[in-house]
Amino acid sequence: MNYRHAFHAGNSADVVKHCLLIALVRALQQKPGALTLIDTHAGCGLYDLSGDQAQRTGEAAQGVQRALADVNPLLDDYRAAVRAVNVGAEPQLYPGSPRFLTQLLRPQDVLILNEKHPEDARALRSAMRGTPAAVHERDAYELWLAMLPTRTPRGVVVVDPPYEQTDERARITATLAAAHRKWAHGVTVIWYPLKDRTTHQQWKGKLRRTGIPKFLSVEHWLYDADQPGIYNGAGLFIVNPPYAFTRALPPLLEALRAALAPEGHSGEITAGWVNS
């Protein structure tokens, strides 16, 4: 599955991913200790919603635009982060995960970004100019392991690949297992597109066999049944989610479901432990 992000910026998957990422980092920041935030597949950092690629799919209309029109206060932090990079009511730009993470930084926190694609890496450096982020241009899986354990006692690794390679899931599984051996207490967030339920269950089974104990899965299925050959939703695997995050998750997920469900579908969004 090819998921080049410029075509999908601001879609429903982005809304869910970034709302949960904000909630996760905020939960960790309830303690004063420094955090290291690492984004292994950082992308361009900022996306033009009026550009050809985004307009070709029009997916922002069912994602960020619906979230901005919603009134649930649980989405306020997300809406504020999007509006921070825009002027006017209609969003022209969409912040990628690096720009969301930058807005969350406290003085003691560290942000490390990585993007292997040369053109996207140049765009990322431009988008992050004036921020304290360190930008790398390396293989994502090599960097993931090289940065662990983090120099600060706590940290978060965000893994958000385009799934262009047929072995992407296998590389994630193997690298996650190796990372857990080096950094068992660390928090890892893995984004994935949902193509069909059978393929997803097979991958979840392989991840379960890594033996990682605290392994949460959040799944957002847009349609009540698989729609062949198209994008059916997206989700996050989260290793070692903090208690404050999991406790606040049910109402946030319901707010997202209500805001993003396609007409005629329930827009199911659930959370459960992979190893249960």
Q: Would you name the residues annotated as active-site residues? A: 160
Which residues are bridge partners to 194 per DSSP? 233
Which residue, 53, 58, 63, 75, is CA-closest to 260?
63
DSSP string, 118-182: HHHHHHHHHHTTTSS-EEE-S-HHHHHHHT-S-SSSEEEEEE-----STTHHHHHHHHHHHHHHH
Cα separation, 92 vs 265, whole angstroms: 28
Give the whole-angstrom CA distance, residue 240 versus residue 221: 23
Cα(18)–Cα(178) distance, integer angstroms = 26
